[in-house]
Structures are given as structure tokens and as C-alpha cells.
Structure 1
Amino acid sequence: MKPTIAVLGGDGIGPEVTEAALSVLGACLRFRAEEGLIGGAAIDATGDPLPEATLALCRKSGAVFLGAVGGPQWEGEPRPEAGLLRLRQALGLRVNLRQARYLGLPTPLDPRLASRADILVVRDLL
């Protein structure tokens, strides 16, 4: 049985980059993608930045693949970003891991040290 991935393209460039990334992922993994609304796209369609149907989809899926949320056209309330915050809270997602490695580009660091650098930033989101 193929795992289900909840695909939330979101706003701005999100749907475009999500589609491209899923085509690459599809070359490596067999999965079933189900789309949901979040952010400004969800506000435009339903008035809610995280519709209950999207939250239910995310809860039943094995993974959530999110594009981007927000944009200047959604200045008032509700804010598109509120959907992302609610999703994180509902799924108990508190930590964002950001890895950084030296890519061989010019740096003020000694290249021998920079080439061994492996940095992991752990960011608490709530």
C-alpha cells in the first residue's frame, strides 16, 4: 500500500515549487498525494486559513508536504500564517531543523575548518 502525503501548496510560489518537488520525489518513492488548502488560498476559498477538511487530511496522512503560506494580498484578519500555526499546534509539531553544510564557496573561515562544518539549527516554533 502506498503511503499518503497531504500536499498543501499554499500561496504564492508554493503550488509551483510543490509540484516540481513532488515530481522529483515521485521518481524515488511510490506514494499517493492528496491536496488540501492552507493559508491565503484557503481564506479565498473558505474564509478559514486552515479548513477542517485540510486538518483531517493531514491527520490521516503519513506526511505533510507544505509549499508556502502568506502574501501581501492578505493583509487583514484572518492572517494566512494562522493556518500554519494551527496546523503545527494540532499535530504537535514544535521543532524546525535547519541543516547547513559548507558548499565550497569563498568564506572568511579557514577552508580546512569550513569543509568539516556541519551545523544543525534547532528552532522551537511555539
Structure 2
Amino acid sequence: MTMPAHGDQSTYYPLNSAEPLRSPIGLCSDAQLWYIAQHMRGDWETLSALLGVPQRDIDIIRQTHSQVVDQTFATLQGWRWRALKWRCPDEAVPQLIGTLSAVGDVDIANYLEEQFKLTESLP
């Protein structure tokens, strides 16, 4: 499977800025979010709610995307867009790790936690 081209939120706007920034590389990248979407076993709507995705967005995702993997990916992109408005990726990733654990996707959460520890140790 390849990452879908539709629904690309490859830029985001930080708080109080009109200048778009490219989506980050690393743990909040589209490739990483696609990996999570492909391997997640929990319910994407529960994940959405726990990540703070508004119900109206959940409804739009449900109507727009027919496949669960696409719905999960769209949810994660929406979460990233909101999360990175308020904090850097290093602060947003622990929220995602905790939420994945809460919905029962401990394997993915452990994988992300290991990846996060590796990025923290880089100079």
C-alpha cells in the first residue's frame, strides 16, 4: 500500500502566524502517521475523540473516507495539524503515544516510544 494523495495536510500554520510551515519529518511525518494508520487495531473514532478531534471533523472523515486506514490517517493528520499549532513535535508525540496505549495499540505506542527516545538522544 502507498500513502494516499488525497487529504494531504502537508503544511500547517503555527499560532499567530500567516506563514505556512511544511509538515515535520520524523515522528509526526506523513510516512509515520501512515504507518500508524496501517497497523492500528483500535477504533479510529475512539482515537479521534481521545486526541481531541472535534466531532464535526470525525463526521466529515467518516463521510469522506470509506476505508478504515484512510479514516485513521485523516484523523492523525487532523490531530497533527492542531497539535503543532500549539507545541513542537517533541511535545506532541507523547500525547499520541499515550492515546495509542489507551485505545489498546500498545505495540504501536511502544514502537513510537522507542523511536522518540532515539530522536531525543540525537545532538
Q: Shorter-chain TM-score: which interval?
A: under 0.3
TM-score (norm 1): 0.25
TM-score (norm 2): 0.26
Between structures 1 and 2, the one with greater strand share: 1
Q: Which has the higher contact order (CA 8 A, sep 6+)?
A: 2
